[in-house]
Structures are given as C-alpha cells and as structure tokens.
Amino acid sequence: MMGEINDKKQVFSAVSIEVNSTKQNFMALISGLLFSAGLTVSTMVDPARVIGFLDVLGAWDPALAFVMLGAIIVYMPLYWLVIRRKRTPLLGREFHLPSKIKIDGSLVMGAVIFGIGWGITGICPGPAIANISKGHFSIFIFILSMVVGMLVASKFNNIIKCAQENRCNEP
C-alpha cells in the first residue's frame, strides 16, 4: 500500500520535472527571441555600428553605451529586487549563478583576447548567432572559428587546471 503511494509520488514528480523542462524550453525560446529582437532594434547586429563605438578617435558613435545602459537599467533592479528575494526560480530547483569570485589570470587574459577579436570583427557571440538567418558567408566563418577557439580554450583550461593541481599536491 505504502509502496504504491511512493510509486505514485515518484511518477508524479517525474512527470512534473518533465512538464517543467518543457516550460523551461519555452521560456528559453521567449528569452532568446526578446534578447535577439533587442539586438536588432538597437542595431548592434551591425558590426559597423559596433566598430563605430570602438573607434574612439574616429567619428565616435556612442550607441552601444546606450544599449548597455538600457539593458542594465532593466536587469539590475529586477535582479536585486526580485531575484535576490527568491530562493528558487519559477521553473527550476536553484539559481545557477557563477561560483567563481577570485580574479585570476585566465579572466584577464581571456578578456584581453576576446577584446582583440571583437575589435577586429565588430562581432561578439550574441550578434553572430542573431545574424544567422541572413546567410552571410562571413557569419558562418565567424561562428565556426569561434567554436574552434572555444574548444581549444577548453583544452587549454584543462591543462592549466591539471598543472595547478599537480603543483598543489607538492609539499
């Protein structure tokens, strides 16, 4: 009798997880749509506009600063007033926030290298994906090479981690 109830409970929780993951997928789609519509409305999908912002000695175009300002003005108060007061997200068990708090060489080097690539092309990951539907050859080249760069960095990260752990094992 008890076993039967427990079985039912397990089935029930398995079903609710499945329903939640369908809802999560739907919300991720909505989030991506809004995010990318925002990139388009703000014209940040156009690398020329990004380069215009980065070219401080040229005819400087401050639009990108307004984009970041607009995004932070919405996200920051909602984060501190809504998210911080909640223990769990509406459709999940926990908030997956970055756990690293220490500033390290990887963060600094990564940011420098990303900045160089962003400066050369005027493209960062979000706008690259948002541009896919237009079918530009250079966007496909960018995304493919970006993935290669990510895979290489992930191998590189593992090597650094290994080296650090070996050093930690020494007396």
Partner 1 sequence: MLTEVFFHAFIGGGLIGLGAFLLLLFNGRIAGVSGIAYTALATSGSGNHWRWYFIAGLIMGPLLAQPFGFTLPDTIVGAFDTTDSPLNNTLVTLLGGILVGFGTQLGSGCTSGHGICGISRLSSRSILATCIFMLSAFATVTLIKHGFGGI
Query: Which residues within the stretch 75-134 sit at the binding site for partner 1 (CB under 8 A)?
Result: 75-76, 78-79, 82-83, 86, 88-98, 100-103, 106-126, 128-134
Give the contact letters, 145-164, x = binds to partner 1 (CB under 8 A), - = no. Answer: xxxxxxxxxx-xx-------
Distance CA 143, CA 133 (A): 13
Residues in 36-75 at the binding interface with partner 1, rule: CB under 8 A:
36-48, 51, 54-58, 62-64, 66-75
Distance CA 160, CA 82 (A): 38
Question: Cα angle at 44 between 147 and 105, to 5 degrees?
Answer: 50
Distance CA 137, CA 143 (A): 10
Residues in 10-29 at the binding interface with partner 1, rule: CB under 8 A:
21, 23-29
CA atoms within a 13 Å half-sphere pointing along the CA-CB vector of 75: 8
Nearer Cβ to partner 1, position 134 or 167? 134
Nearer Cβ to partner 1, position 11 or 74? 74
CA atoms within a 13 Å half-sphere pointing along the CA-CB vector of 142: 21
CB of 6 to partner 1, least distance (A): 24
Distance CA 108, CA 153 (A): 14
Nearer Cβ to partner 1, position 6 or 77? 77
CB of 8 to partner 1, least distance (A): 23
